[in-house]
Amino acid sequence: MELSSGNGFDIHVPSRMPLSPGRNTDTPGKQPDRLGDRMRSLARFLNPWTSRSPISHYYAIPSCWLCPGKRIPFALYGRSAQGEPVKILPPHRMYVPSEDGHDRETGPSRVFIRKESAPDLLHYLDSNLDEIIDHPLMDAAGKAEVFYYLAYRRLEAVYRSPGRLMLTDVKQIIALMIEQIISHPETLRQVYDLVQKNAGRISEHPRSTILHALNVGILSTFFVTTVLSHLPREIAEEIALAYFFHNIGMMLLPRDVVNHRGDLDNRAWELIRQHPRWGVEIMGRRYPLTPEMGGIIGGHHERLDGTGYPGALTSANLHFFVKTCAVMDALHALISRRAYREPLPLVEALREVRHRVPRGYDPRIFSQIIRVFRAYGLF
């Protein structure tokens, strides 16, 4: 395999990479999920009016979230000259942009819904995600927020109750991310900002596990599709699916083990070391895993020097995609809040990962992550 000139990093890999770039060889190789918690996560873009306003029991939403010609499952409200809520569209009526009384050319207007309509709004956004993201009045921050929080919502549904149908929903998110989100640098920066802000929010399993999987999936997919820009789309989407579900085996661990604050005993460690294998079994029963996908899910805790688990594999047996997941998994874990420690700032987390290069992590991948992050202004 020919190495790329200049940086020693192979970006001319075939569509199916047998091993890591530059190292090719024939050697074989915690909290309950309540609506209130979720709505607090959405507070940045579900913009409630001030408590002194007559419409303090309403959420303000941008009208570009509403799809013309489709029925809206909740009532829409505007404001009178006195600031009182005025119903402009009853529930289950077809939305026509002119009915909200705003000029479409001046930018996205805002309408209001009652706070108790929030679950209906989430379902509506989820059902019309492609059209909403593609709206010409959606700015980068708006696209990032809708994408990020709905991606979490879909991923959470599958992690809690795996099923083939719901995997299709996550694949749509992945296709959208690769097609539209990652191709727009400003939107990508906004998504990354949300990754950093949310990494430290939740410490308790299983919600911390699901959020971690989402963020590692975003970071790993962004990196791979950036440095391997020629990678066929269908391969990129398969790999991204494995990144988003690399940690699904953790859902079989008892909550007290994952949230334990002291030193783990031998029993707990034995259980934790099994979660990559459990993840392969869970996903393999519901999706035809390629060798690369199985390698990512089953090998994201392997290390180059053979000190990882569950197979104690060494560098020659680890795929480039697996090594990428290992670095991103470790990096994101360090910047995340855990039940037993506070999150590290990104720069300190990068230093910690750097200390484990090259024994644990691939130095070429780590250096390229730094280069790509800097090029996109992510730190």
Q: What is the pLDDT of residue 249?
A: 96
Q: What is the pLDDT of residue 52?
A: 54
Q: What is the mean pLDDT of residues 291-303?
A: 96
- Of 232 and 99, more confident: 232
Residue 282 lies in a domain: yes
Q: How confident is the model at residue 48 (pLDDT cuts 50, 70, 90)?
A: low
Q: Tell me phi and psi for residue 101, to 5 degrees.
A: 80, 20
Three-state SS sequence of 19-84: CCCCCCCCCCCCCCCCHHHHHHHCCCCCEECCCCCCCCCEEEEEHHHCCCCCEECCCEEEECCCCC
Q: What is the mean pLDDT of residues 187-199?
A: 86
Residue 207 lies in a domain: yes
Residue with tokens 């506070």, as numbered in its chain:
342
Residue 72 lies in a domain: no
Residue 272 lies in a domain: yes
- Of 194 and 6, more confident: 194
The CATH number that applies at residue 327 is: 1.10.3210.10
Residue 117 lies in a domain: no
Q: What is the mean pLDDT of residues 154-159?
A: 92
Write out the residue range of the structural domain in which residue 320 sits. Answer: 139-375
Residue 116 lies in a domain: no
- Of 149 and 25, more confident: 149
Q: What is the pLDDT of residue 11?
A: 32
Q: What is the mean pLDDT of residues 284-293?
A: 93
Residue 77 lies in a domain: no
Domain count, the chain: 1
Residue 177 lies in a domain: yes
Average pLDDT, the chain: 81
Q: How many Cβ atoms are within 10 Å of 183's Cβ, its own excluded? A: 11
